[in-house]
Structure 1
Amino acid sequence: MRTDSRLLKNTKSIKKLKQFLDSVSENPQKYAHDDRVISALSSQGALSKLCIAEEGIFSTSTNTLKRISDSEIEGGFSTLDALRISAKRAISELKETTKIQRRNTREQLAEEKSRLLEKLQQSQQDCWRLTVAFNKAMNQGRRYAYSSGDKTIIALCLKEQKELKAMFSLVTRPEK
């Protein structure tokens, strides 16, 4: 009787294992970060040691796995091993695809960074040109005021230029 209950338990467990391997192949993203599953897919012996009680899968010897698979699963153990390899390949392909996507993202970020640095450099050059033009206009305005000889115009010009320079000052930048 004891042998029968172990046999039944192992048979149910191996059938559940087959379903589980199908599930991994169909939905590798669900198991891609489960080290226990990834390790179990590495070899036949590791697969026989897999225990996921909540799925009804329990560890057994490799010989028991092969013997019961041959008698209870269509295609025998070779079908179960092919499912193991298929599940392992599905997870590997998913991880490789994820690496490629990440690499593309890094490349895209590098391109975006380069584009933004060029834009920043262009903006700095534009700012410099505006500053030079502003200073030239200020100098011309002051020359015109002095050439008029009117002290009121000179005083007004100097006062307004002081206000304009304060607005353009890079010393008092706005807080972030």
Structure 2
Amino acid sequence: MSVSRSEANAASVIALVDLLTKVIAKPSDHLNSASLNHALTSQGALAAYESLELGIRRASLNTQKKACDFCLGGFAVLDSLRRRARESIANAKTQARHSGKRTKEGLLLRVTEQEQEIQLLLEDLQLLQRAFERRSMQARSYAESSKVPSIIALCRAEQREIDTGLDLRRKVFEASNVRPIVRP
């Protein structure tokens, strides 16, 4: 059975996503891979990256973007993973250079890294809150457009229950409160 070119490109993109996810999770395993490190430098370099044993094929940037649209919903997902993998490897290299040091420089570096991680988590939280609020508005809109009183009442009751559960959070983040950490 023959696989179409678009299916092969999509499979290659999926394999690339898998590799980038592994790099983000455990960058120390990929510190010495010169070809991978070069591929993470730009979108074009990533498109040109090839690892046949992992199922990743070289492609033009436009071809890779089309494959991403097909299987990931957009190229931004792959590019975000590329940038995060590049940052993970850079952080791992920095940690390797400063590991075991209890100098002022090493501690300041650790504080900076933790501040960056906190900032990423705050940005992720903001994105999740936006997605949750949008889903809630869509659910309300769909229930109201049905014009069925029982569905509208059920939607309101279930959303009140969810809101009550969210009120139990220890720290509430308003979207306007998510700002970069500013060092004095």
TM-score (norm 2): 0.52
Q: Secondary structure at the match of 1:29?
A: helix
Matches within 5 A, 1:60-99: 60-74=59-73, 76-99=74-97
Distance 2:22 2:41 in 1: 17
How far has the Cα of 1:70 moved from its partner?
Answer: 1.3
Q: Secondary structure at the match of 1:16?
A: helix
Q: Secondary structure at the match of 1:17?
A: helix
Per the alignment, residue 44 of structure 1 pairs with 43
- The residue type paired with residue 91 of structure 2 is E
Deviations 1:97-122 (A, max 9, x none): 111127x399xxxxxxxxxxxxxxxx
Per the alignment, residue 11 of structure 2 pairs with 12
Distance 1:64 1:12 in 2: 13
Structure 1 unaligned regions, length at least 5: 107-176
Q: Which runs of 4+ in 1 moved over 3 A?
A: none
Deviations 1:98-148 (A, max 9, x none): 11127x399xxxxxxxxxxxxxxxxxxxxxxxxxxxxxxxxxxxxxxxxxx
User: Would you say how many aligned residue pairs link Structure 1 and Structure 2?
Assistant: 104
> Is the CA contact (8 Å cut-off) linking 2:12 and 2:56 kept in structure 1?
yes
How far has the Cα of 1:6 moved from its partner?
Answer: 1.6
Distance 1:94 1:14 in 2: 25
Larger radius of gyration: 1
Structure holding more helix per residue: 1
Q: Secondary structure at the match of 1:25?
A: helix
Per the alignment, residue 140 of structure 1 pairs with none
Q: Percent identity, aligned pairs only?
A: 31
Distance 2:32 2:60 in 1: 26
How far has the Cα of 1:71 moved from its partner?
Answer: 1.9
Per the alignment, residue 35 of structure 1 pairs with 34
Deviations 1:24-54 (A, max 9, x none): 1001011011001000000000000010100
How far has the Cα of 1:5 moved from its partner?
Answer: 2.0
Distance 1:49 1:105 in 2: 41
Distance 1:23 1:83 in 2: 10
Structure 2 unaligned regions, length at least 5: 104-184
Per the alignment, residue 53 of structure 1 pairs with 52
How far has the Cα of 1:72 moved from its partner?
Answer: 1.0
RMSD: 2.3
Per the alignment, residue 170 of structure 1 pairs with none
Distance 1:14 1:99 in 2: 33
